[in-house]
Chain A
Amino acid sequence: MNVKVDEALYVIERVRHLTESTYVLRFSRNGMEFNPGQHLVLGLPGSSELREYSIYSGIHDDFLEVLIKEVDDGVVSRQLKSIKPGDKLEVRGPYGFFLTESGISRPARLLFISSGTGIAPFHSYIRSNPEVDYQVIHGVRKMEEAYDIRHYKKGSLQVCTSRDNQGDFEGRLTDYLLEVDIDSHRQVYLCGNSNMIFDAMDILRARGIPQRQIFTEVYF
Chain B
Amino acid sequence: MRYHLITLGCQMNLSDGERIHTVLKEMGLVQTDSDSDAHVVGIIACSVRQKAIDKVYNQIARWNKSKNHRNLITFISGCILPDDRERFLKLFDIVFPMSEVNDLPGMITSFGVATPASLKLPVKGIPGNEQIFSLWNIQPDYQSAFEAFVPIQNGCDKFCTFCAVPYTRGREVSRPSGDIVNQVKDLIQQGYKSITLLGQNVNSYGLDKKGRELNFARLLREIGQTALQMDKMCWIYFTSPHPRDMSDEVIKVIAAYPHLANQIHLPLQSGDEKLLVKMNRNHSMERYREIVHTIRKKLPHATLFTDIIVGFTGEDEAQHQHTIEAMKEFRFNMAYVAQYSPRPGAASYRWEDTVPVEVKKRRLHDLNGVLQETASKHNHQTIGKTVRVLVTGSDRKPGYLKGLTEGKINIRFQANRTDLVGTFVELKVTGSNGLSLEGEMATVNITAMAPE
Within 8 A of B (CB), among A27-59: 41, 43, 46-48, 50, 52
A50 and B124 within 8 A (CB)? yes
Consensus secondary structure, chain B interface? loop
* A-contacting 9-mer, from B251-259, B280-288, B376-384: B280-288
Q: B350: which A residues are within 8 A, CB to CB?
A: 220
B273 and A48 within 8 A (CB)? no
A1 and B280 within 8 A (CB)? no
Within 8 A of B (CB), among A183-211: 194, 197-198, 201, 211
A92 and B244 within 8 A (CB)? no
Q: A220: which B residues are within 8 A, CB to CB?
A: 347, 350-351
Interface bracket on B? 35 or more
Given A48-B122, A198-B277, is A211 in contact with B127 using a C-beta cutoff of 8 Å?
A: no
A97 and B273 within 8 A (CB)? no
B274 and A201 within 8 A (CB)? yes
Q: How far is the CB of B320 from chain A (nearest CB, A)?
A: 16
Q: A4: which B residues are within 8 A, CB to CB?
A: 128, 130
Within 8 A of A (CB), among B98-130: 98-100, 120-128, 130
Is B83 interfacial (CB-CB < 8 Å)?
Answer: yes
A212 CA / B286 CA spacing, docked (Å) = 8
Within 8 A of A (CB), among B279-307: 280, 282, 284-287
A5, A41, A95, A217: the one within 8 Å of B121 (CB)? A5
Q: How far is the CB of B271 from chain A (nearest CB, A)?
A: 14
Q: How far is the CB of A178 from chain B (nearest CB, A)?
A: 18
Residue of A nearest to B120 (CB): A2
B124 and A218 within 8 A (CB)? no
Q: A52: which B residues are within 8 A, CB to CB?
A: 159, 347
Is A72 interfacial (CB-CB < 8 Å)?
Answer: no
Consensus secondary structure, chain A interface? mixed
Q: B287: which A residues are within 8 A, CB to CB?
A: 212
Q: B131: which A residues are within 8 A, CB to CB?
A: 2
Is A96 interfacial (CB-CB < 8 Å)?
Answer: yes
B80 and A95 within 8 A (CB)? no
Q: A101: which B residues are within 8 A, CB to CB?
A: 244, 282
A134 CA / B351 CA spacing, docked (Å) = 32
Q: A48: which B residues are within 8 A, CB to CB?
A: 82-83, 86, 122, 124
A2, A97, A216, A218: the one within 8 Å of B99 (CB)? A2
Q: How far is the CB of B129 from chain A (nearest CB, A)?
A: 9
In the complex, the number of residue pairs spanning A and B with C-beta atoms less than 8 Å apart equals 90
Is B147 interfacial (CB-CB < 8 Å)?
Answer: no
Is A180 interfacial (CB-CB < 8 Å)?
Answer: no
Is A175 interfacial (CB-CB < 8 Å)?
Answer: no
Residue of A nearest to B100 (CB): A2
Q: How far is the CB of A177 from chain B (nearest CB, A)?
A: 16
A43, A92, A201, A212: the one within 8 Å of B273 (CB)? A201
A197 CA / B170 CA spacing, docked (Å) = 29
B100, B157, B351: the one within 8 Å of A96 (CB)? B157
Is B278 interfacial (CB-CB < 8 Å)?
Answer: yes
A90 CA / B122 CA spacing, docked (Å) = 14
A201 CA / B122 CA spacing, docked (Å) = 42
Is B97 interfacial (CB-CB < 8 Å)?
Answer: yes
Q: B351: which A residues are within 8 A, CB to CB?
A: 220
Given A194-B277, A218-B277, A218-B280, is A2 in contact with B161 using a C-beta cutoff of 8 Å?
A: no
Interface 0/1 of B164-184, CB less than 8 Å to A:
001010110000000000000
A212 CA / B289 CA spacing, docked (Å) = 12
Q: A41: which B residues are within 8 A, CB to CB?
A: 125-126
Is B85 interfacial (CB-CB < 8 Å)?
Answer: yes
B83, B85, B277, B285: the one within 8 Å of A197 (CB)? B277
A3 CA / B286 CA spacing, docked (Å) = 40
Interface 0/1 of A1-29, CB less than 8 Å to B:
11111001000000000000000000000
Residues of A within 8 A of B (CB): 1-5, 8, 41, 43, 46-48, 50, 52, 90, 92, 95-98, 101, 194, 197-198, 201, 211-212, 214-218, 220
Sample 13 A-B pairs with CB under 8 A, ordered by A number.
A1-B99, A2-B99, A2-B120, A8-B125, A90-B124, A90-B125, A92-B126, A95-B157, A198-B277, A201-B277, A218-B277, A218-B278, A220-B347
Residues of B within 8 A of A (CB): 80, 82-83, 85-86, 96-100, 120-128, 130-131, 157, 159, 161, 166, 168, 170-171, 244, 273-274, 277-278, 280, 282, 284-287, 314, 347, 350-351
